[in-house]
Amino acid sequence: MKLALIFLGGLLILGNYPSFGQHFPCSPTDAICVCSGHQVDDVVPDCDDCSGYIVCGNGSYEKLKCPLGQIFSIDLNACVTGQCPRSDSTCVSNSTVTPPTSPETPPPPGPCANGVICSFHGQIIAHPEHCRLFYTCVENCAALGFCELGKWFDREKYVCDYPQNVHNCPSNKE
C-alpha cells in the first residue's frame, strides 16, 4: 500500500512538470513530428532526457518519464534501472526519428544473454537465488529488477514487501 501511495505521489509530482504527461498535437503543417510514421501506442525514446520516453498517439504524442532511478533503455524499449547517460544504443534526435521500414516479428520465446527464459512480454519471474531480485520480460528478454533495500519480492503477489510478510522466498538471501 505504501509503495502504491509513493508511486501515485510521484505521478502527481511528475504531472506538474509542463513537458511530461501531457499530450502534444502533431499538426499537418509540422515538417517533422516525433511520431511521424509510427503506429498509435508505439514507444519512442526521448533523446533529450534519458529517463524519458514518448508514446505516440493518433496525431499527437505524450511525453512520459521512467520511475526515479530508472532510464529508458533503447535496446529493451522499456524503463530499466540505470543512470544517465545511456549506455545502450545511440539515440537519434527526436526531430529526426525515422519510422520502422518493415514490421518486425518478435523473437521466439527463449533465453537471452542472461539465460532466463521468457514465455511472453510482461511476464514477471522471481530470481532463483535472491529474495530482492526478479525479472521482467521485455520483448522475450528478461530485464533484471530489484526491490528497494529492506524489501523482498513476493512470488505469489508479484510485489515487493517487507521480509516478515514474504514467506515464499526459498533461499532467504537478500
Sorted by where each begins, the domain ranges of the chain are: 19-93, 115-165
Contacts of 174 (CB under 8 A, 6+ apart): 130, 131, 132, 152, 163
CA atoms within 13 A on the CB side of 148: 9
What is the rounded CA–CA span in Å between residue 26 and residue 106?
29
pTM recorded for the entire structure: 0.40
Q: Could you give the count of Cα atoms lying within 13 Å of 167 in the half-sphere of its Cβ?
A: 1
Render each residue's pLDDT in the chain as its tens digit; 174 residues: 554 444 444 444 444 343 445 566 665 555 456 777 778 888 888 877 888 888 887 777 788 888 888 888 877 888 888 877 766 656 654 443 444 444 555 555 445 667 888 888 888 888 888 888 888 888 778 888 888 888 888 888 888 889 999 888 876 665
Angle subtended at Cα 111 by Cα 110 and Cα 115, rounded to the nearest 5 degrees: 160
Domain 19-93 -> CATH class: mainly beta
With a CB cutoff of 8 Å and minimum separation 6, the contacts of 24 are: 60, 61, 62, 63
